[in-house]
Amino acid sequence: MLDLQTISDRIEIDDLITRYTRAVDQLDWALYDTVFTPDATIDYTASGGIAGTRDEVRDWLAATLPMFAQMQHYVCQKEVTLHGDTAELVVYLMNPMAIEQPDGSMWRMEMGGHYLHQLVRTPDGWRSRELVEKMVWDRKD
């Protein structure tokens, strides 16, 4: 049986992951910062990205993601392991994206995998202090 704190934590963590996907898809970097602790590390190397601090990765995303004419991050199947004020989170992901070509056609790609988060409870709520992306599959047209 789940106690009220566990239920509350799981809802807050679910909202955190929704905020992450909205921030990335809407290129909202102020919102992106609210997902992570200021000293967080993020590793997107599995999908060809970079690894670095929250600010380094945020700035890289801000420079890189506008090349995509279409993108949408889907997350589901969240496995949350709570340890008081810390938590481990495994989230399944799927990310379809498209780049508009000079002739107006779209080059499309999809990828799927997992986000592995190390979370911490802060005075402002749950935040990720580490995110590692693991790829399982991809498809490119």
The residue ranges of the chain whose pLDDT is under 70 are none
Q: How many CA atoms lie within 13 A of 134 on its CB side?
A: 9
70: helix, coil or strand? strand
pLDDT given at position 141: 82
Task: Identify whether the C-beta of residue 75 lies closer than 8 Å to the C-beta of residue 21.
Answer: yes
pLDDT given at position 113: 98
Own/partner contacts of 49-52, CB < 8 Å, gap of 24 or more, are 49/133
pLDDT in tens, 105-138: 999 999 999 999 999 999 999 999 999 999 999 9
Full set of structural domains in the chain with CATH: 4-140 (3.10.450.50)
Distance of CA 107 to the CA centre of its chain: 23
Joined together, the tokens standing for residue 11 give 């809802």
